[in-house]
Amino acid sequence: MELISFSAALENSRGCTKSHLLLGNGFSIACRPDIFVYGKLFEQADFSKLSPSAKKAFDALGTQDFERVIKALRDAKAVLAAYDGVPSKLLATLQEDADGLRELLVQTIASSHPAWPGEIEEHEYAACRDFIANFDSVYTLNYDLLLYWTQMHTEEGAQPSSDDGFRKPEDDYDAAYVTWEPGNSHRQNTWFLHGALHLFDAGTEIQKYTWVNTGIRLIEQIRDALKRDYFPIFVAEGTSNEKLIRIRHNDYLAKAYRSFSEIGGALFVYGH
């Protein structure tokens, strides 16, 4: 297969009805490799609230990939449960560590995340805007705020061209958050396929934390929520099937999945 340049790929896609972008973790790593590489997250994670074996599981598998270890723990529990005589306490510990690692990953990303959009250089925003401007819609598998900050960081007086489907709630226009409803998604062109730090499932509605409604830095709102054990929408399950189950049981994630499944035209993948 012949590799072509990005500009050539763009030219080849000109005849397509639409062009779409799928972002992976490489997008965030390219911006801040000292934060978003799994090894860095592992170094910064506080394992003190989990069993001593949880951290040893990383060494046993020779990895610093949280999702791989979560999958291994859940697989181990499933296999051991099929054998007679396996202590129920061990099975419970495996499940607790798998769930705990998922929450620890969220907390670690939030704690090490840049505190505010001003920590990203203007030339970095400009490069990202120029790149994203080539596409009609953007799908991301990343949990962090970098894409959101980029889309909101427009020139003075200019409105963002992105639409993530969130609007002020009709029954509480002064709320400190905005909400997502399926009816608002017709013009939506930005989707967080695996959730994100600033998206929360409030039971009867999907909420997005914002700075403009509170004056409080977004990452600080998220860290405060985590301290209160209020966790964002976050797909970090191990297997593809487990991820799909999680996605199908959340209205926003299920709609994002259907949107991505139904795209037509050209698809560009970056950061995988």
| DSSP conformation letters of 13-38 | TTTSS-EEEEE-HHHHHHH-HHHHSH
Kindly state the DSSP code that residue 234 receives in the 8-state scheme.
B
Q: What is the mean pLDDT of each run of 10 residues along the chain (272 residues)?
A: 87 92 95 90 92 94 92 94 96 94 91 92 94 96 95 86 91 83 91 95 88 85 87 83 90 96 95 88
Classify 269 as helix, strand or coil: strand
| Cα-based distances in Å from 83 to 16, 53, 54, 94, 233 | 54, 21, 22, 15, 34
Q: What is the pLDDT of residue 166?
A: 94
Contact predicate 69/101, CB 8 Å: yes
| DSSP conformation letters of 146-185 | HHHHHHH---TTPPPS---SEE--TT-TT-SEEEE-GGG-
Q: What is the pLDDT of residue 54?
A: 94
CA atoms within 13 A on the CB side of 175: 14
Q: What is the pLDDT of residue 140?
A: 98
Contact predicate 243/235, CB 8 Å: yes
Q: For the whole model, what pTM was predicted?
A: 0.87
Q: Domain limits of the chain?
A: 6-32+120-270, 39-112
Cα distance between residue 176 and residue 211, in whole Å:
9
CA atoms within 13 A on the CB side of 211: 13
